[in-house]
Structures are given as C-alpha cells and as structure tokens.
A = this chain, B = another copy of it.
Amino acid sequence: MRFMSQQTRHILVQHGAELLTEFSYNALGIDRLLRETGVSKGSFYHFFDSKQGFALEVIGWYEAYFEERFCRILGDSETPPLQRLAQWMRTGRNRLARHQFRRGCLVGNLSQELGSTDPVLSKKLQAVFRGWESWIADVLAQAKARNDLPADADTESLARIFWIGWQGAILRAKLEGSGKPLDDFSNFFIAYATQGGNFYIEKVR
C-alpha cells in the first residue's frame, strides 16, 4: 500500500516535470495533470499541500535527474575534461531535439516565469543553478590543470557565463524550433574557454 502510494507520487512528479518543461507554470492545470495520470484530486492533496509544494518536488526530481547526467558524462575520468563538456552539451541538444525543441529546461522555464514573483521557488531555483555551476567549474578546473585552458582562466566566472549562455541558447532553440542556437553556443564556449585571455578588460577602447 505504501509502495503503491509512493508510486502514485512518483507518477505525478514525473508527469509534472514533463508538463512544466513544455508549458508554463501558470498554464499547468492540476486538473489536466490528474486527468492525464488518472490520479484523484484527494491523492494529489494527500501528497502536496499546494501547487507550489508540488513544483518544489518536481524541481527536486529534475535536479536529481541532472545529477545523474552530470555524474555519468562530466564524471567520466577516461575522457579529457573539455570533451566531456562538449559531450554534455551534445546530449542536452539531442534530448531537446527528441521533442523538436518544443521543450526547454524546466529550471530555466520556471526561473523565467517565476524567478521574480515566487520567493520560495526562486530560492530553490538559485540553489539548483549554484550546484550546476559547480559541476561546470569543476570540469573546467580539471581542464586547466592539464593546460587545456590558459593558466589564468577564471573557471568560476566561466561556469557562470556557461549557464547564462546555455539557458539563453535553450530559449532561442525553443523559439526557432532548431538546435542551431545550442550548436552555436557550444562551439563558441569551447573556443572561448580554450583561447580566452583575460576575462575582464580595464577599459573599452
């Protein structure tokens, strides 16, 4: 019985993640979610006190899913670090291509829609980005240690720019229904990271 109910909870969260990757939070009707999963309203409110509580759990599920992707691809020490990063972007692109670029990143979508209006979700989303940044900063630090990046490369700042750009690229991929923005950014970022001189300049000419 307990097993059954945890399974129901999992079904709701997983389907919620799918809906929130494609549609907005405001457009997500709990009724639709229940209809499509065949779960009763009573069960939903047994597990979650509100739509916000549900969204928090969906974000946590998505975070765990990404953690697995990071471990598998970025943690593969057999492959040189920048190749792992390029591979990570390639698999992300292919994942979006499977849905004709209709879906974006759940964390990016919710940040865009609710980042400035829902303090609870915003705090959680910021924490997710910090975790994601540390994965990228780590792999860049490994690249730097084997001289694939310049000795003065600022890997923390680069990781921040990575996520700013990657989220922007997903937004454009959705808009254009094409992987080109993701390819462009991927090529650009690897080229920049490997050739990049100083991150900051003193004064614009």
Which candidate, A1-9, A54-62, A173-181, is the interface stretch facing chain B?
A173-181
Which candidate, A11-19, A70-78, A122-130, is the interface stretch facing chain B?
A122-130
The answer to whether B187 and A191 have CB atoms under 8 Å apart is: no
The answer to whether A168 and B164 have CB atoms under 8 Å apart is: yes
Given A23-B117, A101-B116, A112-B112, CB of A157 within 8 Å of CB of B188: yes
A interface SS class: helix
Bound Cα distance from A184 to B161, whole angstroms = 8
The answer to whether A197 and B200 have CB atoms under 8 Å apart is: no
Bound Cα distance from A82 to B22, whole angstroms = 38
Counting CB contacts under 8 A, is A113 at the interface? Answer: yes
The answer to whether B116 and A113 have CB atoms under 8 Å apart is: no
Could you say which residues of chain B place their CB within 8 Å of the CB of A200? 187-188, 191
State the A residues within 8 Å of B (CB).
22-27, 80, 82-83, 85-86, 101-104, 108-109, 111-113, 115-117, 122, 125-126, 129, 148, 157, 160-161, 163-169, 171-172, 174-177, 181, 184-185, 187-188, 190-192, 194-201, 204-205
